[in-house]
Amino acid sequence: MDIHERGTGVAGLAPSHTTAPAHGLSVRLERVSIRHPGARAQAHPALDRVDLCIGGAEQLVVVGPSGAGKTTLLLVAAAALRASAGRVLLDGEDPWLLTPRRRRHLRARLFLAPQIPPLPPRQRVVTAVLAGRLPAMSLARSVRSLLYPLDIAAAHAALKPLELADRLFDRVDRLSGGERQRVSLARALLAPARIWLLDEPLSGLDPVRAARALQVLREQAQRRAITLVVAMHQVQMALDNFPRVIGLRDGAVSFDSPASQVSPEALRRLYAHAATAADPGDIPAEQPGEPAPVAMLWR
Amino acid sequence: MAIGSGTGLAGAPPSPDRDPAWGGRLAWLLASILLLWPLLVMTEFRPWQMLDARSLHVTARFVGGFLPPAVSLEFLARVARETWRTVAIATAGVALALLLATPLALVATTALSVSSLAGRMALLPFLVRQATRAAMVALRTVPELVWALVFVRVVGLGPTSGVLAIALTYGGMLGKVFAEILESCEAHPTRTLLANGSGRLQAFFYGLLPQAAPELTSYAIYRWECAIRSSVVLGFVGAGGLGQEMDSSLKMLAGNEVATMLLVFIALVALADGLSAWLRRSLR
């Protein structure tokens, strides 16, 4: 794997060799509904007839109040959750009509970063980051890499723009929450994926680090023609950084427009039950008495 | 200041004066005694019989034969050799059991299920897992003594029958417990790796093993300790080692030789315990 510095000072990382075409993965949701089997009857569905079309190498952000369905949307797009109604097309194929083997190859072209960093506590950072490359490695290579990391330079290059390169050989449980989140994002930079689905990637980071991490992710996604879908609740940062914004509320799409055309009125309506005033940057509190959405299997 | 019921702050409810759970607990206690009593009668549980004069005399003569423990050099050399053989039987048995149990556990554990990522597990994987569990149940239900008796007929007297008996029984036990240890680990890292397209074994090595390693190791060492005890018992049916020596010493009523062997045996198990604690600490 070659690592080359570019003029911007951000180390470019060449993706590992895959046989998939080198274009961003496109996602299409057609009237997708998801209702959890354990949900109460009067609760709104997790996703309610969502229609969405994401082109290859597009970058967009999903905003909405807690419980709106942002995580569910990302899981459906990652073929990690099955819709109760409607269908999902990833690069024109329905993942649930594929054989398990081909579905696994499709999943190898996705990268999903959950809200809580999926890192085993006793693992070292270098192994945790290199785990992002597992779908492209054979079993023998991955076991060898476990005994002695085979590509320390690549892990270092992935952590450097996220300012964690000096923690390469530390254990994950010695890191703070924000640092663990950045390790989880560093995996994306090494994964052989054509789409990145990031669930609240900046929630544990301070504003300066958050802005820098987002810039790194956007630049890398653009340079490598990777589709980028981010769910976040920092509305102002979302509007400033992404060309397309989708507002989700109670499982349904409230608006889907370019960032410049999102009106304060639309944002107010999105967060209508906020306990605090109409500043869309605040995280609104949940209204007591409303039927609560069922806790997700994925955190 | 008197803190009595009803004399607290104006409007506060009076303090309760009995524990509401006590009635239920008393009832359960009486019911258990009522159920246990027939069991004690059926098993002829009469410990006071051990304390009457005749039993005490017999016990004293039996225990007296154990002291002093035999310490002749030639005997100790024999004990050392047989102890080594016992440890070898146990280690070989557990090693074979691990070879058998590891693939069984990896197949049976639901932590590596890909079909249950998105909902319920599909039918075929479920049936395969249940069949593997059934195989492990079959392996561990038959006591190793029975397996050893069978193998003594097949391969003759000697350590081989002991090793095979331990391998089969312990393979079933290790497999079941390993599968359950893997299921009790935090599933989030593993499920994320599977959802991002890595293979099952890769997800095991990178997601489950880092968390499960201390538990798996300490259980394997505990089973090795149990295997040492088992191989002593199996020695009584001809599988060689310390058990066979103990059997012949008991038959000759040489209590002092048995005493030495028991002391060596206790030391061996204590050593295994120390090794397990050290390994667990160093893996943390």
| Annotated domain spans of chain B | 73-283
Tens of pLDDT, residue by residue over B150-184, are: 998 998 888 899 999 999 999 999 999 999 999 99
Q: Is A139 left (phi over 0), alpha (psi -120 to 50) or beta?
A: alpha
Confidence class for position B284, pLDDT limits 50, 70, 90: low
* pLDDT given for residue B268 in this prediction: 87
* pLDDT given for residue A7 in this prediction: 35
Of A107, A101, A83, A96, the residue nearest A29 (C-alpha) = A83
Tokens read off for B247:
């059997």
Residues near B42 by Cβ (< 8 Å), separated by ≥ 6?
none
Which residues on chain B are in Cβ contact (under 8 Å) with A112? 192, 195-196
| Annotated domain spans of chain A | 25-109+227-299
Distances from the Cα of A133 to the Cα of A138, A280, B199, B208, angstroms: 10, 38, 11, 17
Q: Which residue does chain B place closest to A103, by CA atoms?
A: B197
Which of A153-167, B6-20, B129-143 shows the lowest mean pLDDT across its residues?
Answer: B6-20
CA-to-CA distance for B134 and B151, rounded, in angstroms? 23
Instruction: Say whether A107 and B207 touch across the interface (CB within 8 A).
Output: no
Of B197, B205, B284, the CB nearest to A135: B197
Q: Which residue does chain A place closest to B187, by CA atoms?
A: A118
* B43 has pLDDT over 50: yes
Which residues on chain B are in Cβ contact (under 8 Å) with A143? 205
Sheet holding A110-113, edge to edge: A110-113, A195-199, A227-231, A59-63, A244-249, A252-258
CATH topology of domain B73-283: MetI-like fold (1.10.3720)
To the nearest whole Å, the CA of A176 is away from the closest chain B CA by 17
Confidence class for position A284, pLDDT limits 50, 70, 90: very low
Tens of pLDDT, residue by residue over A114-146, are: 999 999 999 999 999 999 999 999 999 999 999
Q: Is B120 on the interface with A (CB under 8 A)?
A: no
Confidence class for position B9, pLDDT limits 50, 70, 90: low
Of A107, A122, A137, the CB nearest to B195: A107
Residues near B219 by Cβ (< 8 Å), separated by ≥ 6?
B174, B177, B178, B181
CA-to-CA distance for A293 and A285, rounded, in angstroms? 14
* pLDDT given for residue A269 in this prediction: 87
To the nearest whole Å, the CA of A282 is away from the closest chain B CA by 29
Of A118, A135, A139, the CB nearest to B192: A118
* pLDDT given for residue A68 in this prediction: 84
Which of A4-18, A208-222, B29-43 shows the lowest mean pLDDT across its residues?
Answer: A4-18
Q: What would the CATH number be for the domain defined by A25-109+227-299?
A: 3.40.50.300
Instruction: Say whether B191 and A118 touch across the interface (CB within 8 A).
Output: yes
* A4 has pLDDT over 60: no
List, in sequence order, every residue forming a beta bridge with A252; answer none if it has no partner.
A249
Model-level ipTM above the cut of 0.85: no
Confidence class for position B192, pLDDT limits 50, 70, 90: very high
Task: Confirm if A129 and A186 have CB atoms less than 8 A apart.
Answer: yes
CA-to-CA distance for B85 and B105, rounded, in angstroms? 29
Of B195, B201, B210, the CB nearest to A78: B195
Task: Confirm if A205 and A213 have CB atoms less than 8 A apart.
Answer: yes
* B242 has pLDDT over 70: yes
Phi, psi of A40 (to 5 degrees): -70, 150
pLDDT mean over B216-228: 90
Name the percent of chain A lying above pLDDT 90.
61
Q: Is A200 left (phi over 0), alpha (psi -120 to 50) or beta?
A: left
Instruction: Give the best residue of B123, B124, B192, B196 to mutate against chain A (max A CB count within 10 A).
Output: B196
Instruction: Say whether B206 and A122 touch across the interface (CB within 8 A).
Output: no
Instruction: Say whether B118 and A79 touch across the interface (CB within 8 A).
Output: yes
Tokens read off for A93:
């194929």
